[in-house]
Amino acid sequence: MSIQVDSDFASDDRARAQIGAAVSYLLRDVTGVAREHAVETIVEMVREIASRPAGAEMATLQPLMSGVAYRDFVIDAYRRDVDRWRATIRRSNGKKIRIASPPSVRDEATTTADAITAEKAIEFARRAIDLGEVI
């Protein structure tokens, strides 16, 4: 995921149309609690952008990697240290999850390996879900 800055919109209406299309894309297959969380994440992102000083350089910002919906789960990346990212995995419906190794039942699971970017941490979490390490 990357942030693309396009300050050459044809008009305000064109910019609004692109925002609407992006929001529709992000919510396309999301339902229930996961949809509510996705909407909250989008609103949070808009508020964060709106609170920046005018002319803040967007190209250097870390993309928002919170509330990523994947299957029946929601994944949040967080930064532990410089170039050390992990992700937490939780069910979108709020139910507990089972962890394969060591066997346990919890509210959420955390990836065990550090990733160099938030995107990689999300990828590690998706892989854990696909491999059945988180059920």
Residue 12 lies in a domain: no
Residue 99 lies in a domain: yes
Structure pTM? 0.54
Does residue 16 have a pLDDT over 80? yes
Residue 107 lies in a domain: yes
pLDDT (tens digit, 9 = 90+) per residue, 60-89? 444 557 789 999 999 999 888 888 899 999
Alpha helix (H) residue ranges in the chain: 12-26, 32-50, 118-130
Residue 72 lies in a domain: yes
Residue 121 lies in a domain: yes
Residues sharing a CB contact under 8 Å with residue 102, sequence separation 6 or more, in sequence order: none
Amino acid at the residue 74: V
Q: Which of 1-10, 27-36, 93-102 has the lowest mean pLDDT?
A: 1-10
Range(s) of the domain holding residue 76: 68-130
Q: How many domains does the chain have?
A: 1
Query: What's the half-sphere exposure (Cβ side, CA atoms, 13 Å) at 82?
Result: 0
Residue 89 lies in a domain: yes
Residue 103 lies in a domain: yes
Residue 34 lies in a domain: no
